[in-house]
Structure 1
Amino acid sequence: MNNWVGIKEKKSFLKWFLNNHRLKRSDAKYLLEYLITNSHILENIIFTDEFRRDRKTIVISSLNSDQIGFEYYTNNKKTDDVSRAVKDMMYNPTEKIHLMLHFFGKMMNQKYLSIVGNPALENVRRYRTYEKISKEAEHLLTDSLDKNKVRRLLAQIDQALDNKDEELFQYLSQELKKLKRN
């Protein structure tokens, strides 16, 4: 996922998360506090909802979640030892680690949605951007076509006046009025 999230946003979210949710594992709170105080490690944390066993992933759950309290996946192995995850981050501070947080209402939480790298959410963002650009392009094209029609009608009106064709002049003038009303 190429959704870059700054350290400031990550820290802000983690502080909010710790202030608003109790964790199933109290030692997992220590891990999150460690991330908040170590920007060089937090820089390499990627918030995700997409679990894959083949990458380093930390899973932390709040009390109101039905998920397990803490799991750490590395090298296709799983452990529930928080200290091992912290130790791994300390010894390998430049390695990317994916962080999954489970808490009630996370898919409706704007703070969470703004930092999570979720392909479905990214597709929604892209679709909204496409819709906005599409509407702007359609408006620009319609405006351009309308201006072109006005110029063409004015040229035809001038031609009708030059030819002293009053019937054509009246018809074209009515068309111009209709076009300008729209």
Structure 2
Amino acid sequence: MGSAVTIAEKKHFLRWFLANYQLQSREAEMLMRYMMTRENVLRRVHFVENFRQLSRVIVIATKCVPVAPFRYYRRNKPVSTDVEQAFLDLYQHPDEEIYVGLFFKDRGTSEAYGAVLEEIPTREMEPALREMISLQAELAIEKAVHDYQRSQLMQQVNNALDVGNYELFLEASQRLIDFDASASPSL
């Protein structure tokens, strides 16, 4: 998947797509042709596979797949099947990013589609989702550090046993016991 698809590549893909597939909705085809002819809009169009949590999404299906013909998602608004509403939104807000999900036969193996697919930018994720991911990362780091420190203390206990040094064994064991007692219950 690419991350910086040019306007020319998007235009070329849309021409190819419309020449090779018949959409379930004639209005959706007209919307795609509109996007293809407007560089200022096409600059903001991003073809994506996973469009959950994105602010503005158009989902279009061809006749060769059993998927709803057209869906328009706008953050904090009900899902719409009205192509005209999506067109008006594109027309009124040409500087906002728009994510397009296409459903068609062989989309998973299509080189043309793969060439225009883009990664979802993390800045578009919901703030709550970003926060959750951040917390999970912090917990994973804390657990890794804890596990490493505990393994080092266990190694000291084992080394004391290996050399047969009872006093060193007691000191190392006490450090391990203290470490375990002070560790967070979640770790």
- TM-score, normalised to structure 2, is 0.61
The residue matched to 1:78 in structure 2 has which SS? coil
Query: In the alignment, which residue of structure 2 is the partner of 1:108?
Result: 109
Residues 38-75 of structure 1: per-residue CA shift (max 9 Å, x gap): 01100000100002154200000000112110000002
Query: In the alignment, which residue of structure 2 is the partner of 1:57?
Result: 57
Query: In the alignment, which residue of structure 1 is the partner of 2:90?
Result: 89
Residues 161-176 of structure 1 mapped to structure 2, 5 A cutoff: none
Return the structure number with greater relative CO, CA threshold 8 A, min gap 6.
Answer: 2
Query: In the alignment, which residue of structure 1 is the partner of 2:68?
Result: 68
Question: Matches of 2:98 and 2:23 in 1, distance apart?
Answer: 20
Query: In the alignment, which residue of structure 2 is the partner of 1:24?
Result: 24
RMSD: 1.6
What is the identity, as a one-letter code, of the residue corresponding to 1:27? Answer: E
Q: How many residues align?
A: 119
Residues 101-140 of structure 1 mapped to structure 2, 5 A cutoff: 101-118=102-119
Moved >3 Å (runs of 4+):
none
Q: Is the 8 A contact 1:49 1:100 kept in 2?
A: yes
Q: Is the 8 A contact 2:2 2:119 kept in 1?
A: no
Q: Is the 8 A contact 2:2 2:116 kept in 1?
A: no
Query: In the alignment, does 2:36 pair up with 1:36?
Result: yes
Q: Displacement of 1:2 after TM fit?
A: 7.5
Query: In the alignment, which residue of structure 2 is the partner of 1:15?
Result: 15
Q: Is the 8 A contact 2:65 2:103 kept in 1?
A: yes
Which runs of 5 or more residues in structure 2 are unaligned? 121-187
The residue matched to 1:95 in structure 2 has which SS? coil
- Radius of gyration: which is bigger? 1
- TM-score, normalised to structure 1, is 0.62
Question: Matches of 2:91 and 2:119 in 1, distance apart?
Answer: 27
The residue matched to 2:79 in structure 1 has which SS? strand
Question: Matches of 1:103 and 1:2 in 2, distance apart?
Answer: 20
